[in-house]
Structure 1
Amino acid sequence: MKQTLDERFLISPFLVFFIVHATQVGVGMLGFQRPLMEDAGQDAWMAVLLAGLATHVLIWLMYRLLAYSPSGGDIVSLHKHYFGRWFGGVLSIGLLAYYALAAFTVLQSYIEIIKVWMFPLMGAWQFSLIFLMLTYYVISGGFRVVAGLCFWGVVIPLATIFPMMAFAFEYAQYRNLLPVLDHSPTQILKAVNDMAFQYLGFEVLLMYYPFLKNAPSSQKWAHASNVLTIFLYLVVILISIIFYNKEQIAHITWPTLTLAKIPEVPFIERMEYIVISIYVLVVFPNLVVAVWAMARVVKQLFSIRQRRSLPVLIACLFIGTLFFEEKSDIERFIQWTSKSGLFLIGVYIPLLYVYVWVVEKVKKSLQQKQ
C-alpha cells in the first residue's frame, strides 16, 4: 500500500493498541454499571462480553473497508472516491458533526464530575478553557504527540487507579452473581445496546488510518486492544455486582468512583479526589483524539491547514460549554452521541462496506469483459 504522508508523520502499528484502548475507556467507565444492572441485573457481565465481541467484528469490517480507500487514505477520501465531491462531502460533514458531538460530550461529562465531587462552586467554562488550551497544545505537536498522550493515558491509569478496586473483594458477596441466566434474551440485548456505547472510540481509526506505517498490519493490535478493554470492563462490572446489589446501584450515579472510596490511607481523607485527578489522563486522550479528528476532516474537506482550523473548532467547543452545562443538557448530549455513534458503526459502516464491495465487483466484472 502506497503511503501518501511523509514518513516522519507516521507512527508504528503497535501504537494502535494504545490509541484504540485510550479512546474506548473514558468517563463511561465511572458509571456504566447502573444502566446495565437495571436491565440485566447480575447477568450484566454477559452484555459486556457480547458487546465486546461485536466490536471485534466491527473493527475487522473497518479495516476491510479502509483497504479500499485510494492510496491508503481515510474515510473522507473514500467518500470522495466512491460518492463524488459533493455527496461525499456531505457524508464527511456528518462524520465531522459526530466527532464534534463526541468531543463535547467527553468534555462536559468530565467537567460535571469535577464540579460535583471536587469544586462545586466553580463554573464549567473555567475547566473547559483549561482543557481546551491543553488540547490545542497537544494537537499542535502533530499526531505523533497525540499517540504519545494515548500511550501514557493507558499505562498510568492501569498502574494506579484500577488496582485500587481490589480492596472491594474484602466486602464481596459472591452470591450476588447467582442465579446465572436469570434474565430474558430481550433484557440482555437491551443491556448490550447500552454497553455498546462504552466501546465507542475505535471508530476514530477511520481518520488516523493513513498515519500508520504498514496500516493493515496494525489490525492485530486493534483487536488486542479491544481484548484489554473487554477485560477491564468485565472486571469492573463483576466487582460492582459482588459489591453492590441491584437496589443500591439504582441510587449511585458513578459506582466506580464510589468503589475508589474503599481504600483508607492515613494522610489522605478523600481517596476519590486522587482518583478523579489521575483519571484526567484517561479522559483527556478521548478529547484530544476527537478534536484532532475534527480538524483532520476539515483539512481533508476544505484544504484548510490544521493550525488555522484548530483554534476555530476549539472556540466553538468552548462557546458550547457556556450554553450547555446543566445536567439535563449533558444527558441529552450523551444520548445523541450514543445514538449517532451506534448508527455510525452498526448501520452506516456495514452498509458502506457492502456498497463499496459491490462497486468494486462490478468494476472488476466490466474490466474482465473488455
Structure 2
Amino acid sequence: MKQAIDERFLISPFLVFFVIHATQVGVGALGFQRTVMKEAGQDAWMAVLLAGLAAHGLIWLMYRLLAYAPSGGDIVSLHKHYFGRWFGGVLSAGLLFYYALAAFTVLQSYIEIIKVWVFPLMGTWQFSLLFLVLTYYAVSGGFRVVAGLCFWGVVIPLLTIFPMLFFPLEYAQYRNLFPMFDHSPIQLAQAANDMALQYLGFEMLLAYYPFLKNASSSQKWAHAANALTMLIYLIIMFISIIFYNKEQIKHITWPTLTLAKIPEVPFIERMEYIVISIYVLVVFPIITVSVWAATRIVKQLFAIQQRRSLPVLLACLFVGTLFFEEKSEMERLMEWTANVGVYLVAGYIPLLYVYVWAAEKVKKALQQKR
C-alpha cells in the first residue's frame, strides 16, 4: 500500500509499543482501584483482566478497519472515503473534540493531584501554563519527538515508580483475596466497564497510523503494549486488595499513590513527592499525543498547518482549566470523558468496521456483475 507521508517523518513499528503503553497508563492508575472494587470487591482483578482482553479485541479490530483507509491513511481519510466530505468531516470533528477533551481531562487530573499533595496554595493556571508551554515545544517538533517522549515516559517510570509498589507486600493480608468468584457476571461486567477507562489511549492510533513504517506489521507491538498495561494493572490491583480492606478502599481517593508512602528512605521524608514528580513523565506523553492528534485532524479537515492550530488549541485548554476548580466538577468531567471514550472504542469503532466491511462487499458484488 502506498505510504502518503514522507519517510523521514515516520517511526519504526516497534515504537508503537511505547506510544500505546504511554497513552494507556496515566493519572487513572493512581486511583482506579476504588471504583472497580466498589462493584467487584476482592474479585476486581477479574474485571481488570476482562477489560484488558476486550482492549486486545478492539486493537485487532482497529487494525482491520484502518487497512481499508485509502493510501495508507488514517480515520479522517477513511471517513471521507466512505461517508463523503461533509458527513465524514462531521464524524472526524467529533473525534477531534474527543482528543482535545482527553488532553484536557488528563491535564486537569494531574494538576489536582499536585495541588492536593504538593502545592495546595498555588493556583491552577500556573501549572496549566507550564504544562501547555512544554506541550507546544514538544508537539511543534513533530510526531517523532512525541514518540520519543513516549519512549522515556515508559522506561523511566518502570524503573523508578513501579518497584516501589512491592514494598507494601511486607504488610500483605492474603486472606483478603478470598472468597474468590464471589460476584455475579453482571457485577464483573459493570466493574470491567468501569475499568475500561484505564485502557483507553490506544484509540490515538486512528490518528497516527499513517506515521508508522509498514503500519500493518506494528500490530504485534500494539498487542504487546496492551499486555504490559494489563499486567501492570493486575499487579497494582492484587497489591491493593491484599493491603487495603474493603472499608479502607472506599475512603482513599488515590490508593496507588498512598502505597508509595510505604517505602522509607533516611534522606527522604515524603516518598510520594518523588512519585508525583516522576509521574509527570507518565502524564506528559498522553497530553502531547492527544494534542498532536487533535491538531493533525484540524490540518486534514481545514488545511491549517499544525503549527498554526496548536497555539489556538492550547489557549482553549488553558482557558478551560480556569473553570474547573471543584473536585465534584473534576469527577463529572472524568466520568463524562470515560463514557465518551468507551462509546467510541466499544461502540462506534465496531459499527464503523461493520459498515465499511459491508460497503466493500457490496462494491465487489457490483463489480462482479458488470
TM over 0.5: yes
Separation in 1 of the partners of 2:185 and 2:215? 38
Q: Report the secondary structure of 1:13's partner residue.
A: coil
Q: Which amino acid aligns with 1:319?
A: V
- Look up the equivalent residue of 1:148 and give its one-letter code: G
The match for 1:11 is 11
The answer to whether the aligner puts 1:105 opposite 2:105 as a matched pair is yes
- Following superposition of structure 1 onto structure 2, how do residues 220-369 of structure 1 map, counting pairs within 5 Å? 220-369=220-369
Q: Equivalent residue for 2:155?
A: 155
Scaled by the length of structure 2, the TM-score of the pair is 0.99
Cα distance in 2 for partners of 1:343, 1:33 equals 22
Name the structure 1 match of 2:56: 56
Structure 2 counterpart SS, 1:55:
helix
Question: In the alignment, residue 209 of structure 2 is paired with which amino acid?
Answer: Y
SS in 2 for 1:5: coil
Deviation at residue 330 of structure 1 after TM alignment:
1.1
TM-aligned CA deviation for residue 228 of structure 1: 0.3
Q: CA deviation at 1:277?
A: 0.1
Match of 1:205 in 2: 205
Find the counterpart in structure 2 of residue 117 from structure 1: 117
Task: Work out whether 1:172 is the aligned partner of 2:133.
Answer: no
The letter for the 1-side match of 2:68 is Y
Q: Deviations over 1:54-99 (max 9, x none)?
A: 0000000000000000001010010000000000000011101111
| Partner SS for 1:304 | coil
Residue identity in the other structure for 1:280: V
Query: Given residue 206 of structure 2, which amino acid in structure 1 is its aligned partner?
Result: L
Deviations 1:1-46 (A, max 9, x none): 1101101000000000000000000000000000111111100000
Quote the RMSD (CA, aligned, Å): 0.5
Moved more, 43-52 or 184-193: 184-193
Q: Structure 1 residue 184: deviation in Å?
A: 1.2
Tell me by how many angstroms 1:195 deviates: 0.3
Residue pair 1:101, 1:333 contacting (<8 A) in 2 also: no
Give, as a single letter, the amino acid of the residue that structure 2 aligns with 1:13. P
| CA distance, structure 1, for counterparts of residue 175 and residue 84 of structure 2 | 59
- After superposition, residues 42-81 of structure 1 pair within 5 angstroms as 42-81=42-81
Structure 1 counterpart of 2:226, one-letter code: N
Instruction: Give, in whole Å, the separation in 2 of the partners of 1:39 and 1:205.
Output: 31
- For structure 1, the 5+ residue unaligned runs are none
SS in structure 2 of the partner of residue 313 of structure 1: helix
State the one-letter code of the partner of 1:246. K
Q: Distance in 1 between matches of 2:294 and 2:252?
A: 34
Structure 1 partner of 2:2? 2
Code of the residue aligned with 1:183 in structure 2: it is: H
Equivalent in the alignment of 1:193: 193
- The residue number in structure 2 matching 1:145 is 145
Q: Give the aligned partner of residue 92 of structure 1.
A: 92
Contact 1:108 1:325 in 2 (8 A): no
Letter of the 2:118 partner, please give it. M
Pairwise CA distance, 1:167: 0.6
Cα separation, 2, equivalents of 1:348 and 1:134 = 33
- Give how far 1:165 is off: 1.0
Q: Partners in 1 of 2:11 and 2:60 — Cα distance?
A: 20
**Aligned-residue offset at 1:325:** 2.4
1:125 partner SS: helix
Q: Which runs of 5+ in 2 are unaligned?
A: none
Q: Distance in 2 between matches of 1:68 and 1:282?
A: 33
Number of aligned residues: 370
Which whole-Å deviations, capped at 9, do the CAs of 1:183-208 have from their partners, x for residues lacking one?
11111111000001110000000000
1:270-318 CA-to-partner distances (Å, cap 9, x unmatched) read: 0000000001100111111111111001001001000000000000000
Report the Cα offset of residue 332 of structure 1: 1.2
The amino acid of 2:157's aligned partner reads P
* Identity rate, percent: 80
- Aligned AA for 1:96? L
Q: Deviations over 1:307-345 (max 9, x none)?
A: 000000000000001112221221111111111101100
Deviates more, 1:318-327 or 1:112-121: 318-327
Shift in Å at residue 249 of structure 1?
0.3
Q: Which amino acid aligns with 2:117?
A: W
User: Match for 1:87: what amino acid?
Assistant: F
**TM-score of the two chains, using structure 1 as the length reference:** 0.99
